[in-house]
Structure formats: structure tokens, C-alpha cells
Structure 1
């Protein structure tokens, strides 16, 4: 009798191990039906197999919709009771165990539902955060490119109206600015790199400095270092320069602006120094908050100080 029991136990263990191998294979269609057959066989050989249901039933709920999972779970949970009844004729012997397993399974199903709802809520929040971030990015792009270009156009047209003799020159500059703005708008719509970066960053910065003459401001640009920069860093530095030079036009009253780009092996530093009125007590009011947010996205820093005018330094690690 002991030998027979040992044989049954070994056979039950073998069936359980076969189920483990089947779990490793996990064919999508046949997995649960075959697992049920193996479980019935192991349960018939050894009633302690019942406790493997705590590992089996989570797989059922993970693979099937809730209603179908409940039906399949019922088949698994009824197996210990059915085998016990077939062997002993006693319908009550395994009933508490079966009910406990059913309750556990329903609790597990509820936990899975809560987790799924939480994941959906997190995904929705992430999507909304992504939309908000994209809107903020587009807002900054429009402010740094199109709005500044339109400001220049308005200034040039006003200058043309007040200076009939030099009107043609002002209108030519306004036309050129309008064409550049149109190129920027098309680039934004097409989600391409900024139009001003069709050449190198140094060339784009040189063009920005040259345009200061439209407002009667002298500009000087210098660059040192030839290391190639990632496109994201180039765009950030260009936008920072545009914002800084817009501040010069609008607020500084400067006569001279010096722009310097220094690129080393481990960092890129953009410096914009004008001889105007400076920032005063609230430099963040000059559009630097948006500049700082953009620079921080690439791990950089922005400093704004007064030193014989305003000095903006943008530093980005490489």
C-alpha cells in the first residue's frame, strides 16, 4: 500500500512537472485545455495537487476575458471536488476547499481589474501630459520663430512709412523676413528641422546677428571649435539666440551686441552680450523662463546677469 501510494505521488509529481514544461512552451490555443487535462490527472493521483491552483488560476485570468476566465476557473476549481466525490462518495469533503479557491479567484480577478483600470488611468494621464508638452513645445517654437519674424516685419513696414527715401530698402528687408517666416512655418507644419539650420549653426547665428542692422544695432559674431553638435542641441542654441536677440531689440536700447559660440569636447557655450540697459531686478520677465525650460530639456543651464548691459550664457553638455 505504501509502495502504491509512493508510486501515485511520483506519478502526480511527474504530471505537475509536465505541466511546468507545458507552461514553458505555452502554445496560445491549446495551453489551457491541455493544462486542465494534466491537472485532472494529477488531482486524481494526489489530492494535494489542489494547491497548485493558486499558481494556475492567475494564468487563466491573465489569458482570458473576465467572463471566460470565470468559466474556465470553475472547471479547474470543481476538479478537486469531483475527484473526491468520485473516490469517496462524500460531496462535502472538498467543498470548503473548492469554495475557498473560487473566492480567491474572484479576489484575484478584482485585483487585476483594479490594476488594469489604474494602468489605463496612468496611460491617459501620460497621453495628456504628452499632448500638453507638445503644445508647449509648439507654442515656444511659434514664439521663437514666427512671432519674432512678424515683429520684425511690422517694425520694417513702420520704418518704411516714416522714411519714404529709405522705404524701398525697408520693404526689401520686410519681404526677406516674410519669406524666412514662411519657410519656418512650413518646417513646423512638416515637423522638419528649423529652416535656419539648413546650413550650419554658426551660419544661422551669423545671419541672426546680421539682421540686427535692420534695427540699427551693430552686431559681432565669433565662433570657436569645430566639433559637430547633435541636431537637438543646435536647435536649442539657435532658439536661445533668437530669444536673446529679440530681447535686445525690444527692451535693451543697445547699440552693440556680441554673440559668441564656443564648442569644446564636452560642452557648447553660447554667450549673448549687449551694451544696453540690462535686465534689472526681474530677468525672468524677458522671456528667459521659456528659454531655460527648453535648455534644461537637453541638460543645459541658462544664466542671465547684468554686466555693462545684459549677458545671457547658455551652456549645454555634450
Structure 2
């Protein structure tokens, strides 16, 4: 077992006292060797008490009896109190430790009177006893306070460590939730819409008997599936959308409109600013995802005949406007809907520092306007 600095102090003090008793055989000493053995037994008892985790009061009682017996045999053994005092202050509450140390410090005087029978022989013990008691109380009290402060600091450090671990856990969970929400939105804006198109095209192919039309629909299904596969690979690799990865935002917008026209027969118009290539990639991703969501809503719900897309740059940013002549609807207030549709579009735009507005009334078509700065 590894010894602490306090253990080494106890061994040094007891060793010095034992050595002094064995070398200096003072007159009237009953048995210095026996007293030395008792002091060594005190050390053994201390080690046993620590290992067996015995009651502090049992430890103090046995230690006191061994010490006083050693003092009866050789009054020089009283100097071992420099070691026992620290042990008692460590084992007992402060007031109890002071009382125990005072008893062990003062009892050698009546023991010497009983043993020698003459007060003259104990006069020299009184000043040393008083000084030893004062020193033990002051030192023990200081040590107890320092120990209490160290324990408080240890508790504070443990609490801080626990708080730090909790903050790290919550941050990790928040990061996981944010990433999960991001992936859900990406899947909704890409793969889910692609699968919806595939289902729609397959159902359209089932309703016709014209071989050319069936072949055309199957070709569209295959093209959409390939695009979905490219989007899935881009998601796994954490890349930008497949359309942007292979070309610029302008070409991606044209492909989206061309696909919509080919699959639904809608008339489409596109007005693009030539300076779109200078936009940051993050802004291009937001604009493309918003366009995809708007076109998906038109395909599913608008029952429109024409779609007009305008993408222009301004002095402070870029504006995307998607206008259809469909049935329209009562536009919900921001925050009034949930899911990954218009609410997801608004959230994506707001996270990019922009504004998303939806203007629609039943029978008047719909206009979606996205502004990024």
C-alpha cells in the first residue's frame, strides 16, 4: 500500500520517540522496550483501522489506551502525541478531537504522580504539557479547517465536472437533433419528392395503352430514379445538391422547370439574373430547396396551368419568386403550421438570415417570395 505524506510523518515521529526511549534510559522508567512496542502497535492499529474502516470512536479509544499504557511505562512516550493528535483530528469531529487530544495530553501528569508518588518529579511536565496542548489544538484546528476547505473544493470540482459533462451531453443531443432535423428536411425536399414523382409517373403509365406514352413515362421514371440516387449519394457524402454539384444554380432551376413541364404539361417561364453564379454555395442551396418545395406543392395541390420563376439579384442580396395561376389557398401565418412543407421552407430561409413570404387566396393563385441578404 502506498504511503501518504501523513503516514510518513507518523512513522518518523514514532520512530524518533522509540529511538529516544531506547537510547536514553531515564531513571524511573518501567520498561522502555515495552513502551516502544506499544507505540509501534499504535501504528499497526492505525493501519488496521484504515483498511477495515472501523468506527472512529473505536479507533480513538484503542489508540488512547495503547498510548496511555506506553506513557505509564515510559513518560517519554507522551511525545508520540504529535502523531496521534493528527490522527484523531482526521478521524473525529473537531470538538471531539480537541477533547481527545486534551485528555491524552493532560493525563500523563496524573499518571506520573501515581507512578512516582512525588509532585516534584512532574513539575517539568506541566509547561511542556501546556505548550503541547496549545500546539495540538491550534495545529489540529487549522488542519481540520484546511481539510474541510479541501473537501468543499473537491465537491465543487466534482459538481463543475458533472455540470460540464451534462452541458456536453446536452450539446451533443442538441447537435444530434439539429442534424436529424436537417437530414429530415433534406430528405423531404429531395428523395421524398422524387419518390412522389416516380409514383405519379408510374400510375400515369398504367392508365394509358399507347406504347410510346408508356415508354416516355418509363424513361421519366428512370431519369427521376437516377436523380434521386445522385441526391442520396450527395446526402451521404454531405455534398451540395446533385444539381448544384454538376452545374450552377441557373442550370439547376431550368432543369427543375423542364422536368415539371415534361411530367405535368404545365407551361413554365424562367427569368434568371446572369449574376447568380457569384452567390455563395449556401445561398444557392437554400434557393434551390425552396424552389423544389414550391414546385412540389404546385404539382400536388395547385391545379395550375402556368408557373413563372424569377431569380434576381439586388444590391443587398437575391430574390426568388415563384408564381402560379392555380386554385390558391388561405396562406397560414408564420409558425402556424408544422412539418417540412411551407414551415420547413420558412425555417430554412430564416436560418440563412432571410425572409420567406407566401401570398395566396382561394381562386387567385399563389406567390412565394424568398429574400436572402
TM-score (norm 2): 0.59
Q: Which segments of 5 or more consecutive residues in structure 1 lack a partner in the other structure?
A: 1-73, 79-84
Q: Is the 8 Å Cα contact of residues 248 and 254 (structure 1) preserved in structure 2?
A: yes
CA distance, structure 1, for counterparts of residue 285 and residue 139 of structure 2? 71
Q: How does 1:252-267 map to 2 (within 5 A)?
A: 252-267=302-317
More displaced stretch, 156-165 vs 118-127: 156-165
> Match for residue 251 of structure 2?
203
1:244 alignment partner in structure 2: 294
Could you tell me which of 183, 194, 199 is aligned with 1:154?
199
Q: After the TM superposition, which of the residue ranges 193-202 and 248-257 deviates more from structure 2?
A: 193-202
Matched, 1:104 2:149: yes
Matched residues, number: 234
- The answer to whether structure 1 residue 177 and structure 2 residue 231 are counterparts is no
Query: Quick one: distance in 2 between partners of 1:195 and 1:251?
Result: 26
**What CA distance in whole angstroms lies between the structure 1 residues aligned with 2:329 and 2:167?**
42
Cα deviation for residue 97 of structure 1 reads: 2.2
Mapping 1:289-308, distance limit 5 Å: 289-306=343-360, 308=364
Aligned with 1:261: secondary structure? strand
Alpha-carbon displacement from aligned partner over 1:262-312 (angstroms, at most 9, x marks no partner): 123421111111000112254747810011111111111111012631011
Aligned to 2:214: 167
Deviation (angstroms), 1:149: 0.8
2:169 to 113, 118, 124: 124
1:218 and 1:212 mapped to 2: Cα distance? 9
CA contact (8 A) 2:269 2:309 kept: yes
Kindly report which structure 2 residues correspond to 1:71-82, keeping only aligned pairs within 5 A, or say none. Answer: none
CA contact (8 A) 1:225 1:264 kept: no
Does the CA contact (< 8 Å) of 2:331 and 2:360 recur in 1? no
Q: CA RMSD in A?
A: 2.3
Aligned to 2:183: 138
Rg larger in 1 or in 2?
A: 2
- Decide whether the 8 Å contact of 1:258 with 1:274 is kept in 2: yes
Find the residue that maps to 1:105 and give its secondary structure.
helix
- The Cα of 1:225 is off from its aligned counterpart by 4.8
Whether the 8 Å contact between 1:201 and 1:234 is mirrored in structure 2 is yes
Kept after mapping to 1: 8 A contact 2:331/2:358: no
State whether residues 279 and 305 of structure 1, in contact with CA within 8 Å, keep that contact through their aligned partners in structure 2.
no
Deviation at 1:174, TM superposition (A): 1.4
Determine the structure 2 residue equivalent to 1:81: none
Asked if 1:219 is matched to 2:273, the reply is no
Aligned partners of 2:136 and 2:304: how far apart in 1? 96
SS at match of 1:279: coil
Structure 1 residue 240, shift from structure 2 partner? 0.5
Equivalent residue for 2:160?
115
CA positional deviation for 1:157: 1.5
Alignment check: 8 A CA contact 1:259 1:273 kept: yes
The answer to whether 1:278 aligns with 2:334 is no
Note if contact 2:354-2:371 (Cα within 8 Å) is conserved in structure 1: yes
- In the alignment, the residues of structure 1 paired with residue 365 and residue 162 of structure 2 have an alpha-carbon distance, to the nearest angstrom, of 56
Gaps of 5+ in 2: 1-85, 91-127
- Contact 2:290 2:345 (8 Å CA) reproduced: yes
Provide Cα deviations, 1:145-172, integer angstroms capped at 9, x if missing partner: 1111111111112222222221111111
